[in-house]
Amino acid sequence: MRCAKLTLRFELGRRLRSCPEIDREVLAAALVAIRARGDLTVHALVRIVGLSPRQLLRRFLKATGLKPKEFISARRVRAALIDAVDYDARRWADIAAASGFSDEAHLSREVRRLLGSSPSAIRAHLRSMHGTLVDR
């Protein structure tokens, strides 16, 4: 089940594109969350796209298979991990603060919940992939 949810998180773009009629407000909400790197609340997202919280939840879930809060959380974790790979010398506490997490422990819990591994292990794996992808 966790793998299926994780796969959906990373295949959101494909899923939205494959919809015969893309829900424009859901697409707008997803783009806002992406541009904000997940650093916003669902209530802020509701105000930006002009839907009620219930409508956004129902329509986002139908179009993506995720709740808006899950998507925002995944984007925030993604942003933190990109920063972790890009800035070698940064401490996890600094990365957490820059990505909108309350502290390092909060970031660690979210990474473990979404990806099933520690932030350091994920960073090491991403760095090894990054070197492979860039060198070729």
Burial 2-21 (b: 16+ CB within 10 A, else e): eeeeeebbeebeeebeeeee
State the pLDDT at residue 132: 60
21: DSSP letter: S
State the pLDDT at residue 125: 87
State the pLDDT at residue 67: 95
pLDDT means over runs of 10, the chain (136 residues): 41 61 84 92 94 94 91 93 81 90 94 93 84 51
Looking at domain 76-135, its CATH class is mainly alpha
The whole-angstrom separation of Cα 80 and Cα 62 is 27
State the pLDDT at residue 40: 93
Domain ranges for the chain, please list them: 2-71, 76-135
